[in-house]
Structure 1
Amino acid sequence: MRPDFSAQAPDLAAFRALRRAAGLSVVGEEATRIALRNTLHGVWLWEGDQLVGMARLIGDGGSFAQVTDVAVHPRLQRQGWGHRIMARLMRWADDTLPSGCYISLIADPGAEALYERHGFALRTGMARRVP
């Protein structure tokens, strides 16, 4: 079965399962529920009833947005799905968000080339987790 894009947002279990499979950290159910509810836009790649790829935009939708939760199931990695997901997400951003909206992301080491293909430039940033 070939994966296909759908507007169907995942439930908590599917979202958390893909994060786990792709090697991303998995936060608690309540945090995941809040995160999904506050998504500006999500791109969801499904293979039947299994979520196999995704990316989300979060933020205020005016002056700031951030790309997050970019994940592709390991058996589909290195096949161009990450690029297709990002292309869809950036097309929505370009068509929907106001001119000048600042879009940022934090990339894992080694993923910079994917994001550079979509107009992102390396910047210095800092981050902190809530204890």
Structure 2
Amino acid sequence: MSLPQPRTPEEELAHAKRRLSLPSIVAICGSTRFMAEMTEADLRETKAGRIVVKPGCDMKSPHEFWSDPAEAEALKVRLDELHRAKIRLADEVLVVGDYIGDSTRAEIAYARSLGRPVRFTHPEVDPDA
């Protein structure tokens, strides 16, 4: 008789989400040039009963938090890691916009490496289609 294998952190998270009866969690990804479209996607996903996580900063718009170039670069690194954590937390990813840049392409690859389903508002930009 073999002992049960301990769960991976991912399995523990999935189990906890089921036990808590959490709705599906969607991570919105895309270029921050599509922040308005992300807000609209957030509204639609929320209306459909999903929990939404998305980028919280648009570093292309002026703000004191990233006015210093050195601080801005360090912040971008932290925000990229935070967004990868949002993807790990999510059950699926929704890519917004009709353009896929390097950062979004990396997020899509990361989500798929984790086995997360990826949807697109513009399926024709799927780099793996």
Point out the structure with max Rg over C-alpha.
Answer: 2
Q: TM-score, normalised by structure 2?
A: 0.33
Q: TM-score, normalised by structure 1?
A: 0.33
Q: Which has the higher helix share?
A: 2
Q: Which has the higher strand share?
A: 1
Q: Which has the higher contact order (CA 8 A, sep 6+)?
A: 2
